[in-house]
């Protein structure tokens, strides 16, 4: 594009710009590796049409077929060559610029990844919870135009910190007693909060993509562990000691993106829905509305760009 501008070659400028804009538009989102090859072919077709348009514009007499066929063939092949070059360079560019493309997310979404296989074996309840949260979050992301692939992959990895002590989380206590019954509320809250720190440590160990890693602490934000906070208040009733609410909050940070906000809501919804005795659509809908309202009142969305309109769409999704 710049060479065309600097040399005054308008045809080169138009040709390069048309192909580049087509590539940017086509590769905005993609779900499989074949998409980049399809994109290369479509770019080749755009190049061919641009060559035809330029030749028609420049022809003062009869149409020159031989130059057109040569240029059109080169334009078509250049689109395919660009796709091959992009596929080759993509891993290097991802590493050098520390970016996470949709292709990287597709690799992370493979349920045969070692850490996800560990989760399925060592913490099956958490694994099932993560898969369901991924489905809920993906639907919500599609409804508001966020990246559904990022949200689904974030859901798969958001609770990997529970691998350290899986038996302390209710979804994994199917055939055992609740270990928190014999612990003080403050100790229970420390164990629950620790899975965020353990998750970040494991994410660093497996070199998890930064955008996915950031969702591990943000999906809890600084929310209050209400059950253990209330339990501590009940235990302190009648005694001259005050229970500090901050001691029963997750360390944060609050959600910094729409993806993190969606994941926070989907995580709450899935966990709360399992406690309903006789779940009906109306019950679930009203429960979701209460959860969204309480999260807003707790100011968890103060640092992300999510809107009330987005939240309404998420509720319906």
Nearest in space to 82 (alpha carbons), one of 48, 55, 42: 42
- Specify the pTM: 0.84
Any idea of the CA torsion for 172, 177, 181, 182, to the nearest 10 degrees? -110
Is 204 in contact with 229 (CB distance < 8 Å)? no
The tally of CA atoms less than 13 A away on the side-chain side of residue 99 is: 10
CA distances from 113 to 12, 36, 107, 116 (A): 45, 23, 9, 5
Which CB contacts under 8 angstroms, 24+ apart, belong to 133-142?
133/158, 133/263, 133/266, 133/267, 133/270, 136/266, 136/269, 136/270, 137/262, 137/263, 137/266, 139/317, 140/262, 140/265, 140/266, 140/313, 140/314, 140/317, 141/258, 141/259, 141/262, 142/317
Question: With left for phi above 0 and alpha for psi between -120 and 50, is residue 229 left, alpha or beta?
Answer: alpha
Is 199 in contact with 141 (CB distance < 8 Å)? no
Nearest in space to 116 (alpha carbons), one of 101, 140, 99, 134: 134
pLDDT for position 34:
78
- Residues contacting 182, CB < 8 A, separation 6+: none
Token pair, residue 124, equals 């099956």
Tens-digit pLDDT string for the chain (317 aa):
899 889 988 889 999 999 999 988 888 767 677 788 888 999 999 999 999 999 888 877 778 888 889 999 999 999 999 989 988 898 899 889 888 888 889 889 999 999 999 999 999 999 999 999 999 999 999 999 999 999 999 999 999 999 999 999 989 988 778 888 889 999 999 999 999 999 999 999 999 999 999 999 999 999 999 989 999 988 887 665 688 899 999 999 999 999 999 999 999 999 999 888 888 888 999 999 999 999 999 999 999 999 999 999 999 99
The residue whose two tokens read 């209460």 is: 290
pLDDT for position 28:
72
Is 269 in contact with 283 (CB distance < 8 Å)? no
């Amino acid at each position: 594009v710049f060479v065309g501008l600097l040399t005054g070659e308008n045809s080169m400028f138009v040709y390069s710009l048309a192909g580049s804009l087509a590539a940017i538009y086509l590769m905005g989102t993609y779900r499989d590796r074949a998409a980049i090859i399809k994109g290369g072919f479509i770019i080749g077709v755009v190049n061919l049409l641009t060559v035809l348009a330029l030749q028609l514009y420049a022809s003062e007499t009869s149409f020159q077929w031989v130059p057109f066929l040569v240029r059109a063939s080169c334009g078509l092949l250049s689109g395919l060559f660009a796709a091959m070059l992009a596929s080759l360079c993509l891993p290097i560019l991802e590493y050098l610029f520390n970016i996470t493309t949709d292709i990287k997310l597709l690799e992370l979404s493979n349920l045969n990844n070692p850490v996800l296989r560990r989760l399925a074996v060592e913490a099956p309840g958490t694994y099932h919870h993560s898969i369901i949260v991924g489905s809920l979050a993906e639907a919500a992301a599609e409804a508001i135009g966020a990246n559904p692939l990022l949200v689904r992959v974030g859901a798969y990895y958001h609770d990997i910190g529970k691998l350290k002590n899986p038996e302390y989380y209710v979804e994994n206590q199917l055939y055992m007693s609740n270990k928190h019954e014999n612990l003080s509320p403050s100790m229970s809250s420390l164990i629950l909060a620790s899975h965020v720190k353990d998750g970040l440590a494991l994410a660093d160990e497996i070199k998890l993509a930064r955008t996915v890693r950031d969702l591990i602490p943000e999906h809890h934000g600084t929310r209050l562990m209400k059950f253990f906070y209330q339990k501590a208040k009940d235990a302190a009733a009648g005694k001259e000691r005050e229970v500090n609410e901050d001691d029963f909050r997750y360390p944060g940070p609050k959600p910094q993106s729409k993806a993190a906000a969606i994941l926070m809501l989907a995580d709450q919804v899935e966990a709360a829905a399992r406690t309903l005795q006789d779940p009906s659509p109306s019950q679930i809908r009203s429960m979701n509305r209460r959860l969204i309202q309480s999260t807003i009142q707790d100011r968890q969305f103060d640092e992300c760009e999510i809107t009330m309109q987005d939240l309404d769409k998420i509720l319906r999704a």
